[in-house]
Amino acid sequence: MSQPPKSNPPPRNKQERPPDEPPKKSKSLLIWAVLLLVFLMSAQFFAQGANKDVFISYSQFQQYLQTENIEEVTITDKQIAGRLKQSSTTVVEGVTKSFRNFNVFIPFDDPDLVKELMAKEVMVTAQPQTTNWVGYLIAALPWLLLIGFWVFILRQMQSGQRGMFSFGKSRAKMVVDDGPSVTFKDVAGVQEAKRDLQEIVGFLKNPEKYQALGGRIPKGALLLGPPGTGKTLLARAVAGEADVPFFSMSGSDFVEMFVGVGASRVRDLFDQARQNSPCIIFIDEIDAIGRHRGAGLGGGHDEREQTLNQLLVGLDGFEATDSIIVIAATNRPDVLDPALLRPGRFDRHVTVDRPDVIGREKILEIHVKNRNIPLDESVKLDVLAKGVPGMVGADLANLVNEAALLAARYDHKAVLNDDFEEAKEKIVMGAKRQLVISEEERKIVAYHEAGHALAYELIPEIDSLHKVSILPQGRGLGVTIALPEERYLQSKTYCLGIMAAALGGRIAEKIIFNELTSGAQSDIEMVSRISRHMVCDWGMSEKIGATALGEKEQEVFLGRDFGNRANYSETTAYIIDQEIHRFVEEAEERIEKLLRDNHDRLEAIAQALLEKDMLNRDEVADIIYTDEERNEMKATVEAVEEESSVETTVGAVEEESSVETTEQRE
C-alpha cells in the first residue's frame, strides 16, 4: 500500500548561530561590577590628583610661622592646610619644587598653636573631620571581587548554561532560518559524490520510505579528497537540500589543554543533535581527532584518544529512529583509525576528487554567475578550463577573483581573456617582478628559456608550448609555460620527454656559452624527482623491475611522513643510483642532440626574446616553421580538436542522462 505523498515544509533559509544562547543576566552583573570598579578607581585618582599641595614637616611649619611667612591655614583634626605669603622651595622625590600651598600633619596636641597663629596675624579656619568612604571601598574592593568571583563560578557550575567556564560544552554552529541556503545547484564538478549523497537527502526528507522496506541509511558519510575540492560545500548542500538543522564543527574544536574536555564536547554535541532530530552533524578535518590509537608519544592514552573513544561511542549510540546523519571530511584518510571506518559508523566513503575539464568549466560558470562578473567576448570558459588541469574548486574561485581584480586594476569594463591568462600565470608561476639585470645575464636567460621552448615544440610526446618569457616572474628570471593536457597516467616515454624538456635550458647554456649557471636548479630538482619515481615507485627500470623500493615510515601521532626506510640491500641501492643516473643521462643526451641539430632555430628564438621579452606559441611557430609545415600542423590540430569535441559532447549527454535517471529514482 502506497503512502500518501508527504508534504515538505517550505524551504528554510539558513545561517549559523550557537545552539544555546546563554542568559545575559550574569554578563550584565559582570559589566556593572567592572563599571563600579572603574568609577571608584577614577574617583580615588581624581581625589588624589586634585590635591597638588606639598606636604612639609612640622619643624618647617614652625620655621615659616616664626618668620611670619604664613598667610592662612585651615585646621582639620590632625592636619593643617595652609598658604604661604611668599613662595618657598623644597625637595620632592629628588626634585626641587616651588610651592605656596602646603599640608602638614600635627604630631601632638598643641593647645597654644592657635594662639601662636593668631599672634602672627595668620587667618585661621577650622573644618570638621569627614569620612573617606571612597578609601574604605577601595580597601574592601579586593575582598568583594574575590567573593563575587567564587559566587559566579559556583553559579556557572550549578547551571547547565554555556559560559566562560563551560569547557565541556560543544562549540558547534547550528544552521537555522534567515540566511542563504546552499543546494546541489551550487556544487559542480563532483557529480559522482552528489549521486552518493542523494540517498542521505532522500532519507532525511522521507525516512518512512526506507524504513518500510527494512532499509537502514548509513550512520555516517566520510568525504575524502584533496584540499579545496568542495567537501565542506557538499555537506552544506546536503543540509540545504534536506532542509534540516545542520551542526558544523571542526575536529580541532574538540581538543583543549584540559583533560576530558574533548569527550565532554562530543557528548554535548550528540545530545544537541538528538534534541533537534532529524539533523546533520558535520565534522570538518576529522583527522585531528580520528588518528590511529596507540601511537601517542606518551603511551597512547592522551586527550585526543579519549575524544576519539567518545566519538565512537556516540556513533554507536544512535537509534534507527534518531534520523541523525554524521558527515565528516578529511584529506588524510590514511591516518584514520580503522574503528572509525568500519560499517555502522562511517560506512559510506565518498571520494571528492579533482574535477575533470567538464567539471572545471561548470565550476567557472557558477563562480562567474554567482559573482555577476561581466565577461568579454574573448573569454571562452571551455578553453580556459582546458588550460588549468589539476585545479580544484578553491583554485578556480581564486582564478576568477584574481581575473576580476586585474580587470578592475586596468579599468576594463568587462573581464578579458588576457586578464584570465595573467591571473593564471600569477597563481601558477607567481607575480611579475621588476628587476634590473645586466645585459649578459639577460642574454643567458634568453637562451635558457629558448632551449625550453624549442624542446616543448619539437618533442611530440609531451605537452605543447603555450608561452615563453624572459621577464622575471615568481622565483625565476624567466618562464616557459606549457599547455598541459588532461592526463591521469604518465608513460615512460612521457616522463623521459618531460625530463629532456626540463634540461633544455641547461644544455642551451652549455652549447652557446660553454658554461653552466645556477639558473637550472629547479629543473634539476624536477628531473631528479621524476627519475627516482620511475625507478623506485613506477617500475620503469628494466634492471629493478616491478618492485616498490623504500617503505614510508609514518608517525601517525604527528600525522606526517617521518622518512623512508630502506628495505633493500646496499647492492640494490647501488643499482638504483645507476638507473636514476642512466635516465638522466638519456634525457640529457637526447635534448643536447635536438638543440645542436636545431641550432639556428635556438638562435632565432633567443634573439626574438631579446627583442620582445615574450613570445606565444604562434610567434614561436612563425620563427621555427615554414609555411608548409605550419599548414600541415594546423590541419592536424583541427582534426584532433574536432574529434575531441565530439567525444566531449557525447560524454556530457551521457552524464546529463545519468543525473536525470538518478533524480527520477528519488
Residues known to be catalytic: 449
Helices (H) and strands (E) in the chain, counts: 22, 17
Q: Is 494 left (phi over 0), alpha (psi -120 to 50) or beta?
A: alpha
Peptide bond before residue 484 is cis, with ω within 30 degrees of 0: no
How many residues appear in the chain? 666
- Rounded Cα distance between 407 and 296, Å, is 51
- For 194-240, the DSSP string reads HHHHHHHHHHHH-HHHHHTTT----SEEEEE--TTSSHHHHHHHHHH
Sheet containing strand 479-483, edge to edge, reads 479-483, 464-469, 614-616
- Residue 16 forms beta bridges with which residues? 175
Side chain identity at residue 55, one-letter code: F
- Rounded Cα distance between 474 and 518, Å, is 16
- Rounded Cα distance between 75 and 106, Å, is 10
- Residue 327 forms beta bridges with which residues? 221, 282
- How many Cβ atoms sit within 10 Å of the Cβ of residue 340? 22
In 268-308, the DSSP E strands lie at: 279-284
> Which residue in 210, 200, 272, 278 sits closest to 234, CA to CA?
200
- Rounded Cα distance between 499 and 586, Å, is 9
Angle at 327 between CA 326 and CA 331, to 5 degrees: 145
- Rounded Cα distance between 234 and 187, Å, is 7
Angle at 665 between CA 661 and CA 666, to 5 degrees: 120
CB neighbour list of residue 404: distance below 8 Å, 6 or more residues apart: 371, 373, 415, 419
CB neighbour list of residue 337: distance below 8 Å, 6 or more residues apart: 290, 291, 292, 293, 308
Side chain identity at residue 498, one-letter code: I
CB neighbour list of residue 17: distance below 8 Å, 6 or more residues apart: 173, 174, 176
Phi, psi of 433 (to 5 degrees): -120, 150
Q: Is 109 helix (H, G, I), strand (E, B) or coil?
A: coil
- Rounded Cα distance between 40 and 137, Å, is 8
Side chain identity at residue 209, one-letter code: K
Phi, psi of 294 (to 5 degrees): 85, 5
> Which residue in 392, 398, 396, 371 sits closest to 384, CA to CA?
396
- Rounded Cα distance between 310 and 313, Å, is 5
> Which residue in 256, 615, 632, 664 sits closest to 454, CA to CA?
615
Side chain identity at residue 430, one-letter code: G
> Which residue in 59, 92, 393, 109 sits closest to 226, CA to CA?
393
